[in-house]
Amino acid sequence: MTLLDARQLVVKKIDELKNRVKKLDKKPSLVIIRVGEDFASGKYVANKIKRCEEVGIESKIIHLDENVTQDTVQKTILDLNNDDNVTGVLLQLPIPKHLDEDYLTNLIKDEKDVDGFTIENMGKLSLGLDGNVACTPRGIITLLKEFNIDIEGQDVLIINRSNIVGKPLSQLFLKENATVTIAHSKTKNLKEKIKLSDIVVTAVGKANFLGVDDFSDNTTIIDVSINFNEFGKMCGDVSKEDYDALANDKNCNLTPVPNGVGQMTVIELIEQTIEIQEKKEGK
């Protein structure tokens, strides 16, 4: 089995992205809007900013109060849409319940939508047209390709139907000629479906949701979740105690948590910001 550890790839990518930034006439700039005090969001945003600095692109956080009005968030986004110095805009999710997440996400100008979450960008992805693509799904495909894991013709099960992960990821796998099944909380016979799949992507959000007995030999397991176990340690959906057995008894490939998919999401975000600027400059 291979542990699909993203760390080496991240180092390589940062180097490559640094060089691409140097070739641009103008440094790309990413603006992240964060609303409220969601703990995990704080960590993710800090990580995104750190990576921007490493690659040499401009970044800024606009941190709005938990009780901010819809009008204020709307005005913030529209101002950024009209600011020629801003390459990419991202509204960190989740946002407080009194705000309309779908409406505000879609307000971001399609070209600046580094998350690939607007209706236009999601539509383009479904139609197989060029546009911005959600970063976690992008990162999963990049990671599989880096480790030379076959995708074409494989049976892929995605246990997640969200707009951020499951839906865009299903489109990327289709583009790679995989056969895709999306499972969710109402899916029948989930365990049977897992056993029949070549690639299983889990983004359920429950520590110890899956273990060694759930998988057939040679399965590639992509664990997207970031959970915290009873000892406060970061983990995915797959039991950490089973990593060794998955490797040694079942010859599975597995993305570890931490140092798996989460790292890739941030790299893809930075790369997409650079791509937007490259397109602007005709490069």
Q: Which residues bind ligand GUN (CB under 6 A)?
A: 90-93, 115, 135-136, 164, 265
Q: Which is nearer to ligand GUN, 23 or 206 (CB)?
A: 206
100 in active site: no
CA angle (66 as vertex; 63, 67 as ends), nearest 5: 120
Contact 280, 272 (CB under 8 A): no
Please report how close the Cβ of residue 91 comes to ligand GUN at its closest, in angstroms.
Answer: 6
CA distance 111 to 213: 45
Active-site choice (113, 115, 198, 223): 115
Please report how close the Cβ of residue 269 comes to ligand GUN at its closest, in angstroms.
Answer: 7
Which DSSP letter does residue 56 get? T
Tokens of 105: 């996400």
48 in active site: yes
Q: What backbone torsions phi and psi does residue 29 show, to the nearest 5 degrees? A: -135, 135
237 in active site: no
CA distance 134 to 261: 13
Q: Which is nearer to ligand GUN, 115 or 271 (CB)?
A: 115
β-pairing, 227-228 vs 234-235, is antiparallel
Q: Which is nearer to ligand GUN, 76 or 265 (CB)?
A: 265
Please report how close the Cβ of residue 27 comes to ligand GUN at its closest, in angstroms.
Answer: 22
Q: Which is nearer to ligand GUN, 92 or 132 (CB)?
A: 92
CA distance 14 to 273: 13
Please report how close the Cβ of residue 177 comes to ligand GUN at its closest, in angstroms.
Answer: 25
Which residues are marked as active site? 48, 92, 115
